[in-house]
Structure 1
Amino acid sequence: MEANKNGLNTEKENTDHVVKTVISAEERAKLTPDQILQEFLDGNERFRNNNLTQRDHSELIRKSAFGQYPKAVVLSCLDSRVPVEDVFDQGIGDIFVGRVAGNFVNEDLLGSLEFACKVAGAKLIIIMGHQHCGAIIGAIDNVKLGNLTTTLSKIKPAIKMSQNYSGNMTSKNEEFVKLVSENNVRHAISTIRSKSPILKEMEENREIKIVGLFYTLTKGELLFVD
């Protein structure tokens, strides 16, 4: 082990702040949905500043093996440029992640969200669209390709919601693509509330919070979708 110029052990210095524990049921119980959301937003700021929390993943794997108490569930797009855990600076055991091209909600994902919240105790649902989404672009362009045709049809309601846009309504217009992506998030949240009485009741009782976010690939920042 080496000592730095101040005589301190550098290996110890570098591991002092490494996270080695997973969240417990007791720790999660003390958190409100708003506190969890703020924690995730703070984590995104660390992500954007290249200051991610150091974690001992090998230790976290072992400690999370026999139980999990995630704080939130995030429904994200399939896109490889959106590393969900890193975007929010969360570790093993902190977050459920559902991914599908176009981050829409169907029966399977509704069931997954209900499991995450009602059964497993997550307190926050985040529906996260993103900039330059290929699924959104494909839906706008009316792409037809095998099973992808059915997948993209789930995004069509968001295109319909965007018809009052006064500009060029094509996939070449980044502003229009962003609007459709945001409306796709809104539609997903609306679907949750209309098709899952379980989650709707939990939200009304303030047991959970449902939030829409838009992730920018160019800056790594998160914008609220009202």
Structure 2
Amino acid sequence: MIDSELALQKLIEGNKQFVAATAGTDVAEITTTLKRTSIQEGQKPFAIILGCSDSRVPAELVFNCGLGDLFVIRVAGNIVAPSQIGSIEFACQQFNVQLVVVLGHSHCGAINATVQALTEDHDAISPNIASIVDRVTPAVLPVVNAHKDCGHAELIHRAMRANVEQSVNGLKLRSRQLRQLVRNNKLKIVGAEYSIETGEVEFYLDDEV
């Protein structure tokens, strides 16, 4: 078992390795541990990542982790819905994972779609995409209303961060099991953002629960 602080440090160090390996313009290679034979009997992930489905943000690469290291849930907009909550509860109960990271990222399509729906035409998106947008909207609407005069890039960044923070709080508020683990200091839930431009992950440690 790895406690939350050590798990967080492993993610931070892994991301530094990823950034260093991909800093140049040439094709990069990063070394990781692919221990397929040793995980056939089970898994022991040290962290849970609730991330976005965006193909540019694969958590295992971003944190330079190997097979069996991370329990990853990916959904557009890193939203919190019952299936995501259940998956996280399962990993905490089955594998005693003590760290959950909600990972947003720059240039998020779900955030862009939500801002567009709020400022242009909500009816232009399909009902299925609307189900994602509707979950993101409570976080993004106050940002749109408060920052109408700022540039588009800044608005999207503020909205992305607000959405991550909403998901962090949602995991705690909507799950009795997770809430109890947090209260007993057996689980830490933190937000973070991945920069597609730099490859760096910034953790919102000041807002951790």
Shorter-chain TM-score above 0.5: yes
Q: Secondary structure at the match of 1:127?
A: strand
CA distance in 2 between counterparts of 1:112 and 1:163 reads: 31
Pick aligned residue for 1:118 from 64, 88, 93: 93
Q: 1:37-70 CA deviation, whole Å, 9 max, x = no partner?
A: 0110010000000073343x3xx11210111111
1:105 aligns with 2:80: yes
Q: Secondary structure at the match of 1:217?
A: coil
**What amino acid is aligned across from residue 112 of structure 2 in structure 1?**
I
**What amino acid is aligned across from residue 137 of structure 1 in structure 2?**
N
Structure 1 segments unaligned to the other structure (5+ residues): 1-28
1:124-143 residue pairs with structure 2 within 5 A? 124-142=99-117, 143=124
State TM-score, norm by structure 2: 0.87
Displacement, 1:166? 3.5
**Aligned-pair identity (%):** 33
Displacement, 1:164? 5.6
1:159 aligns with 2:106: no
Q: Secondary structure at the match of 1:49?
A: helix
Q: 1:171-226 CA deviation, whole Å, 9 max, x = no partner?
A: x7111101111000110011111110100111111111111001100001111233
State TM-score, norm by structure 1: 0.80
The count of corresponding residues between Structure 1 and Structure 2 is 192
CA distance in 1 between counterparts of 2:142 and 2:30 reads: 37
**Aligned twin of 1:41:** 12
1:87 aligns with 2:87: no
CA distance in 2 between counterparts of 1:54 and 1:196 reads: 34
**What amino acid is aligned across from residue 35 of structure 1 in structure 2?**
L
Select between 157-166 and 43-52 the one with higher mean Cα deviation. Answer: 157-166
1:209 aligns with 2:188: yes
Q: 1:91-145 CA deviation, whole Å, 9 max, x = no partner?
A: 1011100000000101110000100112221111000000000110001111512
State the superposition RMSD in angstroms.
Answer: 1.6
Pick the structure with more helix per residue.
2
User: Is the CA contact 2:140–2:159 (under 8 Å) kept in the aligned structure 1?
Assistant: yes
Pick aligned residue for 2:71 from 93, 96, 99: 96
CA distance in 2 between counterparts of 1:84 and 1:224 reads: 14
**What amino acid is aligned across from residue 135 of structure 2 in structure 1?**
K
Q: Secondary structure at the match of 1:199?
A: helix
**Aligned twin of 2:26:** none
User: Is the CA contact 2:15–2:63 (under 8 Å) kept in the aligned structure 1?
Assistant: yes
Displacement, 1:163? 4.3
Q: 1:59-86 CA deviation, whole Å, 9 max, x = no partner?
A: x112101111110110000000001101
Q: 1:138-181 CA deviation, whole Å, 9 max, x = no partner?
A: 01111512411112111101112314633436xx7111101111
**Aligned twin of 2:30:** 52
